[in-house]
Amino acid sequence: MRSITRKLWSIITQAQMLVIFLAFALMVVLSYLYVSDVQRKHLWTLAQDTIAHTEVNIKSDLLEPETFLGGIAETIRVMILQGKTLDEVWDYLNNITEYVTTNEQFAYATGVYGFFDVFGGKFCNSIGWIPPDDYVPQSRPWYIAAEEADGKVGTTEPYLLVSLQTVAITFARRIFDDDGNPLGVVCLDIRLDRIRQYAVETQFAEKGYGFLLSRDFTVIAHPNPSMVGIVLADQKSGIADFANELKQTGFISERISTDYRGIKSIVYIGRLYNGWYMGIVTPRDTYYKTTRNLMVMLSALGTVLAVILSLILLRIISAKIKADTLAAEVVELEKRKADIAEESNKTKSDFLARVSHEIRTPLNAILGIAEIQLHDDKLADNARDAFGRVSNSGSLLLAIINDILDLSKIEAGKMELLPAKYEVASLIHDTAQLNLIRYESKPIIFSLHIGENIPTMLVGDELRIKQILNNILSNAFKYTEKGEVKLSVSAEPMGGEDESDIMILIFSVTDTGQGMTAEQIERLGDSYSRFNMEANRLTVGTGLGMTIAKTLILLMDGQISIKSEPGKGSTFTVRLPQWTTGSSQTISRELADNLSKFRINSLSQLNKSEMKREFMP
């Protein structure tokens, strides 16, 4: 039997080890695909941002000379309209050329020149270049660009400036008189050295580079100087493969191509605002280096972890039978402990309930005798004081016993509601009277606010509602030394279509007492829980009141909310669903006013009213 078990465990172990290796292999593949996708998206975003940044730099570099030429052209136009001679205009062009070629701020400019219709088609060159005899200005790109711009600054395509062996462009503007007759064309040559430099130096990885193309795919900037001026779209490989797509979409992403060094590379190209194209080349080996390294690392890590887990699995299997036996024993032990604890708790609850019942019988006799003696006018002052203390202490003890009995019912799951018709005004009046009499010795203003829309009769457990209110009001008076305690009562319909016969009875108790922190509010309702024991050492109570009140509210499907701030007081709001009696009669304004304007003096004398004394042997 043991041999069969071992063989079975051996087969299970091998299967589990195979599953582990397959799981790690799948993890490696998924991780590789995930990282590749993340890297691809990252480079796509990086390429877009880089091309956008380059576009901003090019626009910034070209804006200043374009604006500069516009000012020069306008100045020459004014000079011509003022009747200046050709020599005076030529002198101005020479001065401007000398200024821009000697000023570091205009290091990009090579000179200013022009062709003037107003002076008989004279070509004025201030940069020292002598045109050949067959030179026709009207056929030159700068003249054509100026004509197409129609009074604005036009721009030529980049070209190789042979005299300086650098790539340049020309800004040209045609000027007119006030009647729209052409006066001439003013030009400014600009070297693209700086633009070419930061375009070429753009790279995502080692051995990567950037390049610039004109609208017709002529190379403007490239790390290989011999490539400058070549039209790549006419080549049989490289960018020529993407030229048509690039013309249509303006952007290509992550295309495989062979660069000028013969290295397989990843290419990103985007069109700029002026029709040029910015390209970024990254060697493919470098591009996938991070992904390859990650795959190698994951493979090694997966192998090591698989071996370790397999060894651990063997140990676990060898100890499994012992563990199962021990687990079964532990479960049985925990079950026995739980049964003992439950039985002990039940015994404790039964004991408390029985003792409380036994204590309450003689206690009621004590309270009755004390009450009778307190109504005796002939009673001596010291005896009256003694019986008063007995009465107060007995009432407190009776309240504690009642709380313990209620808690025992709650723990035993035997707390039940007994709904019946009751008068809402009577409930409010009795609750207010009871709490006012209890705490009449404190300098506290007790105010009562009654809404007008409260039904006169409702169906619910009046006794338990009084118990909820008494607990909340009792706490408000206990923990308020001076100031005000306010009880507000209102009602509102439930709101649902199927709940038209349910009314929400709302009680709100506000005091100016000690208040509570957020942590204390969270703990409020825990059995036997009280706060600020040092400050409240003279305040009597068991800490069961709010526990019972919260339980009763839940039994009634109600809600309680608490707002409080230390030192500023608290507000308890209770919402209790109650059945209506079918009558639409509500508490009258007069009755509401009478309830709200009760006289403290008359109420405080209720417990001192005369009693007819009869001989009771």
Pairing mode, strands 444-450 and 483-493: parallel
Q: What whole-number distance in Å separates Cα of residue 194 and Cα of residue 206? A: 22
Q: State residue 601's pLDDT score.
A: 35
* Residue 501: strand, helix, or coil: coil
Q: Which residues fall within 8 angstroms of residue 58, CB to CB, at 6 or more apart?
A: 195, 272, 274, 276
Which DSSP string corresponds to 322-383? HHHHHHHHHHHHHHHHHHHHHHHHHHHHHHHHHHHHHHHHHHHHHHHHHHHHHT-TT--HHH
Q: State residue 325's pLDDT score.
A: 64
Could you give phi then psi for residue 166, rounded to 5 degrees?
Answer: -145, 160
β-pair partners for 171: 155, 188
User: For the CA atoms of 100, 103, 104, 110, what is the dihedral angle to 10 degrees?
Assistant: 20
Residue carrying the six token digits 């009213």: 609
Question: For 168-220, what is the HEC assignment?
Answer: EEEEEEEEECCCCCEEEEEEEEEECHHHHHHHHCCCCCCCCEEEEECCCCEEE
Successive 10-residue mean pLDDT values, the chain, 617 residues: 58 68 69 69 80 85 87 92 91 87 75 88 79 84 90 88 75 92 91 83 83 86 84 64 77 80 86 88 76 66 69 66 65 78 65 65 78 79 78 68 69 79 90 76 86 90 90 88 92 75 93 89 66 49 75 91 91 94 86 71 39 50
Q: For 121, left (φ over 0), alpha (ψ -120 to 50), or beta?
A: left
Nearest 5°: the CA angle 541, 546, 547 is 105
Count CA atoms within 13 Å of residue 39 on its CB side: 19
Q: What whole-number distance in Å separates Cα of residue 314 and Cα of residue 326? A: 19
Q: State residue 368's pLDDT score.
A: 80
Burial 321-340 (b: 16+ CB within 10 A, else e): eeeeeeeeeeeeeeeeeeee
Q: Contact at 8 Å (CB) between 508 and 491?
A: no
Whole-number Cα distances in Å, 217 to 148, 362, 401: 21, 110, 98
User: For the CA atoms of 250, 253, 258, 260, what is the dihedral angle to 10 degrees?
Assistant: 50
Q: What whole-number distance in Å separates Cα of residue 528 and Cα of residue 403? A: 11
* Spatial CA neighbour of 208 closest among 135, 282, 292: 282
* Spatial CA neighbour of 464 closest among 551, 379, 383: 551
Q: State residue 551's pLDDT score.
A: 87
Nearest 5°: the CA angle 327, 331, 334 is 135
Q: State residue 399's pLDDT score.
A: 65
Q: State residue 538's pLDDT score.
A: 47
Residue carrying the six token digits 């009747």: 83
Q: Contact at 8 Å (CB) between 146 and 70?
A: no
Residue carrying the six token digits 């649902």: 496
Residue 549: enclosing H or E segment and its boundaries? helix 545-555
What the chain holds in terms of domains, given with CATH numbers, is 2-189 (3.30.450.20), 195-287 (3.30.450.20), 289-412 (1.10.287.130), 416-608 (3.30.565.10)
Whole-number Cα distances in Å, 53 to 25, 40, 56, 400, 516: 42, 20, 5, 79, 58
Q: What whole-number distance in Å separates Cα of residue 550 and Cα of residue 524? A: 9
Token pair recorded at residue 589: 């304004």
Q: State residue 605's pLDDT score.
A: 37
* Spatial CA neighbour of 439 closest among 476, 468, 409: 476
